[in-house]
Amino acid sequence: MEEMSPDNIHGVILAVSSSIFIGSSFIIKKKGLKKAGVSGPRAGEGGYGYLYEPWWWAGMITMIVGEIANFAAYAFAPAILVTPLGALSIIFSAVLAHFILQEKLHMFGILGCVLCVVGSTTIVLHAPHEQDIESVKQVWHLATEPGFLAYSAVVLVVVLVLIFYYEPRYGKTHMIVYVGICSLMGSLTVMSVKAVAIAIKLTFSGMNQFKYFHAWIFIIVVTICCLLQINYLNKALDNFNTAVISPVYYVMFTTFTILASMIMFKDWASQSGLQIATQLCGFVTILSGTFLLHKTKDMGNSASLRGATSQSPRETPVFINSASTRSTHSNL
At 166-188, the pLDDT tens digits run 999 998 889 999 999 999 999 99
- Mean pLDDT over each residue of the chain, to the nearest integer: 79
The yes-or-no verdict on residue 8 having pLDDT over 80 is: no
Q: What band does 122 get if pLDDT is binned at 50, 70 and 90?
A: confident
More confident: 1 or 167: 167
- Give residue 96's pLDDT: 79
- Parse the chain into domains and list their residue ranges: 130-270
The pLDDT, as a whole number, for residue 128 is 64
Q: Using H for helix, E for strand and C for coil, what is the string for the chain?
A: CCCCCHHHHHHHHHHHHHHHHHHHHHHHHHHHHHHHHHHCCCHHHCCCHHHHCHHHHHHHHHHHHHHHHHHHHHHHCCHHHHHHHHHHHHHHHHHHHHHHCCCCCCHHHHHHHHHHHHHHHHHHHCCCCCCCCCCHHHHHHHHCCHHHHHHHHHHHHHHHHHHHHHHHHHCCCCHHHHHHHHHHHHHHHHHHHHHHHHHHHHHHCCCCCCCCHHHHHHHHHHHHHHHHHHHHHHHHHHHCCHHHHHHHHHHHHHHHHHHHHHHHHCHHHHCCHHHHHHHHHHHHHHHHHHHHHHHCCCHHHHHHHHHCCCCCHHHCCCCCCHHHHHHHHHHC
Q: Supply the pLDDT for residue 215.
A: 94
**So what's the pLDDT on residue 37?**
77
296/62: higher pLDDT: 62
pLDDT digits (tens, 9 = 90+) for 259-282: 888 888 776 676 688 877 887 788
The top-scoring range by mean pLDDT among 36-50, 291-305, 317-331 is 36-50
**pLDDT for residue 109 is more than 50:** yes
Q: What is the pLDDT at residue 306?
A: 53
Q: Specify the pLDDT at position 299.
A: 62
Look up the pTM and report it.
Answer: 0.70
Provide the pLDDT for residue 268: 66
55-98 tens-digit pLDDT: 889 999 999 999 889 888 877 776 666 777 777 777 777 777 77
More confident residue, 152 or 305: 152
